[in-house]
């Protein structure tokens, strides 16, 4: 039984044994909530990021990294440690997600995970930390955490995407060849990381990433519904 009506996607899915999901922007369209939470904790320092700032400086990166850059660029004298700033952002973000989870889940993704769970091994590879990850896929979120055999979060790797370390670690933990893995990503740096690990990649851009260069992806698709279409964003 095929999930996708598009034959090329169905054939690609038939070539792999493991499907690896990114989370932010891929499972949930949550970038606006991350953006809101970040500006919330920066407001006492009279800093307000624009959407363009978010896309260029923060999208797809670990919070500690982009906060460090923002603090440095704006010569901010923090009243708290950098870790505390990140923690406050994460707690506020968690509150936002719990209130809006049904509104931010991307079309078809939960149904696709349910379909795959009975047929493939699943993994999650995200730059998010534990609080953010549990907010989205834990019991108070989508309730799908137990569907993933392996979950690797951003604080478990030394080198963030586009470095392939996180995807290589997934393959190692699952004792599977990278060539037997399909990665689903929403950002160009995520695609680069997966390709660097020797895996197949399908890009599913969102409103923030639709103008990125996805030329290294095997396919770029509209969504993860059975009716997903292959698109060319160039």
The candidate with the shortest Cα–Cα distance to 202, out of 210, 194, 58, is 194
Residue 103 catalytic? no
**98: how many CB neighbours lie within 10 A of its CB?**
13
DSSP per residue, 47-105? ----HHHIIIIITTS-HHHHHHHHHHHTT---SS-HHHHHHHHHHHHHHHHHHHHHHHB
Query: Among the options 22, 24, 29, 186, which is catalytic?
Result: 22
Alpha-carbon 135 to chain mean position: 13
Q: Which residues pair with 124 in a beta bridge?
A: 21, 151
Q: Both tokens of residue 118?
A: 């009975």
Calpha distance 143→150 (Å, rounded)? 16
Q: State the catalytic residues.
A: 22
């Amino acid at each position: 039984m095929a999930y996708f009506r598009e034959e090329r996607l169905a054939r690609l899915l038939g070539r792999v044994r493991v499907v690896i999901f990114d989370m932010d922007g891929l499972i949930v369209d949550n970038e606006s909530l991350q953006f809101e939470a970040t500006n919330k904790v920066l407001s006492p320092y009279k800093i307000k990021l624009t959407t363009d700032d978010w896309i260029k400086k923060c999208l797809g990166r670990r919070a500690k990294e982009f906060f460090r850059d923002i603090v440095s660029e704006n010569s901010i004298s923090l009243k708290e440690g950098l870790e505390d700033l990140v923690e406050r952002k994460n707690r506020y973000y968690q509150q936002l997600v719990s209130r809006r989870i049904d509104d931010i889940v991307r079309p078809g993704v939960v149904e696709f995970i349910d379909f795959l769970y009975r047929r493939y091994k699943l993994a999650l590879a995200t730059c998010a930390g534990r609080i953010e990850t549990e907010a989205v896929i834990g019991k108070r979120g989508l309730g799908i955490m137990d569907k993933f055999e392996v979950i690797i979060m951003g604080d478990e790797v030394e080198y963030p995407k586009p470095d392939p370390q996180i995807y290589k670690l997934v393959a190692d933990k699952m004792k599977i060849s990278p060539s037997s893995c399909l990665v689903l990503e929403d950002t160009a740096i995520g695609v680069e990381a997966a390709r660097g690990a020797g895996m197949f990649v399908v890009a599913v851009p969102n409103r923030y990433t639709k103008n990125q260069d996805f030329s290294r992806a095997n396919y770029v698709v509209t969504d993860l519904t059975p009716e997903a279409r292959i698109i060319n964003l160039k």
